Amino acid sequence: MPETVAPESEGAIETRGLEPVPDNERSGRVRELFPTWVAANISVLLLTMGAGLVVFNRLNIWQVLAVAVAAPVVSYGLTGLISIAGKRGGSPGMALSRAVFGQRGNLFPGSLIWIARWGWETINAVTGAYAVLTVLDLLFGIKSNTTLIVVTLLLFVGCTFLVSGLGINALRRCSTWSAYLFGAFSVLVLIYLIASTDWAAVFAKPAGSTAMMIAGIGTIAAGGISWVPSGPDFTRYLPRTASAKGMVGATVGGAGVVVLPMVLMGAVMAVSTPDLASAKDPVSFIGELLPSWIAVPYLLIALIGMLLINSMSMYSAGFTAQTLGINVPRAWAVSVNAVISLVFGFLLMVVATSFFGSFISFLTLLAVAFSAWIGVFGVDMLSRRTYDGEALMDTTRTSGYWYRGGFAWQAMTAWGVALVVGLLFTKVDWFTGPLAGSWIGRNGLGWAATIVVAALLYAVLPRTRAVEPEHRAGAEKAPEPVGSLSI
C-alpha cells in the first residue's frame, strides 16, 4: 500500500513527513539558510580539528588558512548544490533519492547513511556532554565521574530530541539566535587570542607537505559532506522560484563564516598547547587556555550550537528512518537515533582511549559513505527539473519509481562500485585499504575518488527514465529565476 500522508499542523510542531510540501505552503526564504548553516557548524570540535592540522599534519598557519577556506567551499558547495533538489521536489533528500535508486534500491544507501548518522550524532552528543562537564568543573569544581557522564548525556540528548522533534520552525528560530550569540563570543575569543598569543612562534612554524595539506582539506570537509543528503530537508519549504545561486551562496557563506575562524583559532592554540589535539577530552582545554569569564559563556553558547547540530542531524535522520519503512511520525522516528547516540556516547566517553583518533577515523569513513550517494544523486539532478510527488510516496509496484523490481540497477551499480573503490584508497586507525599507499590514498582523496567514480559510472550507464505524468500535483516544471544556477 502507498504510504499514508498526514497533513501538516499549523502549530509549533511540524507533523509533515516525507510528503512533498504544496506550493501554497512554501513560505521559506533563501536568507534563512545562512543562520541554519552557521548553526550546523557551531562546534568546538573545529578547534580540535584546527589543532590537528598543526600537530598531526604539521602545517603552518598559512597552509591552515588555505585549508580553512577550501574545505567549506568544497563541502558546503556540494551541500548547496544538492539542496536545489529540495525546492524542486519539496521532499527530504532521502525521499527524493527514491527517484534515483528505486523504491527498494533506495533502502541500501538510505540504511548506510542512517547508520553513519549514528556516529555523527554520537560524536556531537559526547562533545556536548564534555562541554557541560567542563562548565561544572569551572564554576563549581565538580569533577567528572561515570554517573555524571550518564546524566549529562541524558540531558544533552533529551534536549536534542525535544528541538528536533518540534521540527523546522523551532530549528530556524534556534539557529538564528545561536548564530548571533556564538558570533559575538567568538569575536571576544579572537580578541583575547590576538592579545595573548606568541605570534612569533606561530609564524615561525615551518610549512608541511602538500599531501598533508590536501589531506587536511578532506578531513575538515568531511563534516560538510555529511550534510549533503540533508540539504534538501532544509530547502523543501522554499518556493520553486527561489534563487539557486542564492541557496548555494547562503549555504557556503553560513558554514564558512564559522569554519574559517574556528579552524584558525584551533591552529593558533595548538602552537602553545600542542597536546590539545590528542586529548581524550576535546573540550576541557578551553577552560585551561581561556579565562573563566570568557570560557564559561563561550562553552555555554557552543553547547547550544552543538545541541542544534545534533537536532538538525536527528531531524534529517527521522526522515531517513521513514524512508526505510519505519512507519511512525517523524518526531518518533527521531527517538531511535536518540537512544543509539546515548548508548554509543557512553561507550566513547567511558571506554575509548583516544577521542581524536576515533573522531578522525569516523570522519574519513563517513566521507566515503556519503560521497558514493552524492555522485549518483548529483548526476541525476543535473538531468531533471521535477520529481513526481505521488510516485515518491507510493512504495508499491504501481510507483513511477519502481523501475525493475523496485531497483534502478544503474544507480545501484554506480553506488556500490564507487563505495568499494573509495574504501580501497582509505586508511584509518583500524582499517587500511590496499590502495591507501597510492597518491590518492596518501593525499586523503578517497572520498573525492568515490564521488568521481560514482558520477562517471552513473553518467555512462544506459538509464531508463521513469515516466512522470505531468498531470500529477507538483510535476509541472517551474522556470528558474534570472541569475540562478542552470542545473
State pLDDT tens for residues 196-209: 888 888 899 899 99
Concatenating the DSSP letter of every residue in 122-163 gives HHHHHHHHHHHHHHHHHHH-PPP-HHHHHHHHHHHHHHHHHH
* DSSP state for residue 404 in the 8-state scheme: B
Q: What is the pLDDT of residue 355?
A: 66
In sequence order, the β-bridge partners of residue 428 are 431
Q: What is the pLDDT of residue 387?
A: 92
User: In this model, does residue 482 exceed pLDDT 50?
Assistant: no
Q: What is the pLDDT of residue 165?
A: 61
| Region 291-297 average pLDDT | 84
User: In this model, does residue 252 exceed pLDDT 50?
Assistant: yes
User: In this model, does residue 72 exceed pLDDT 90?
Assistant: yes
User: In this model, does residue 291 exceed pLDDT 90?
Assistant: no
Cα–Cα distance for residue pair 242/480, rounded to 1 Å = 8
User: In this model, does residue 485 exceed pLDDT 60?
Assistant: no
Let me know if domain 33-367 sits in CATH 1.10.260.40: no
Q: Which residue has the higher pLDDT, 117 or 234?
A: 234
Structural domain spans, the chain:
33-367
Cα–Cα distance for residue pair 439/139, rounded to 1 Å = 49
Q: What is the pLDDT of residue 148?
A: 87
User: In this model, does residue 396 exceed pLDDT 80?
Assistant: yes
Write out the H or E segment, with its range, that includes residue 166: helix 146-166
In sequence order, the β-bridge partners of residue 407 are 404
What is the pLDDT confidence band of residue 288, given thresholds at 50, 70 and 90? confident
Q: What is the pLDDT of residue 335?
A: 67
User: In this model, does residue 354 exceed pLDDT 70?
Assistant: no
Q: Which of 60-64, 283-287, 404-408 has the lowest mean pLDDT?
A: 283-287
**Listed residue (409, 99, 389) closest to 240, CA to CA:** 389
**Listed residue (121, 170, 92) closest to 336, CA to CA:** 121
| Non-local CB neighbours of 200 within 8 Å, separated by 6+ positions | none
What is the pLDDT confidence band of residue 451, given thresholds at 50, 70 and 90? very high
Structure-block grid coordinates of residue 327: 512507519
| Region 398-411 average pLDDT | 93
State pLDDT tens for residues 35-51: 889 888 888 888 888 98
Specify the length of the chain in residues.
487
Structure-block grid coordinates of residue 130: 564534555
328 CA to centre of own chain: 24
Cα–Cα distance for residue pair 380/369, rounded to 1 Å = 18
Q: Is 160 exposed, middle or buried (0-12, 13-18, 19+ CB in 10 A)?
A: buried
**Listed residue (422, 432, 427, 401) closest to 96, CA to CA:** 401
Half-sphere exposure of 313 (CA within 13 A, CB side): 32
> What value does the mean pLDDT of the chain take?
82
Q: Which one of 32-46, 62-76, 113-127, 284-298 scores highest in mean pLDDT?
A: 62-76
CB atoms within 10 A of CB 62: 12
Q: Which residue has the higher pLDDT, 456 or 141?
A: 456
What is the pLDDT confidence band of residue 7, given thresholds at 50, 70 and 90? very low
Q: What is the pLDDT of residue 6?
A: 41
Q: Which one of 68-72, 163-167, 320-324, 463-467 scores highest in mean pLDDT?
A: 68-72
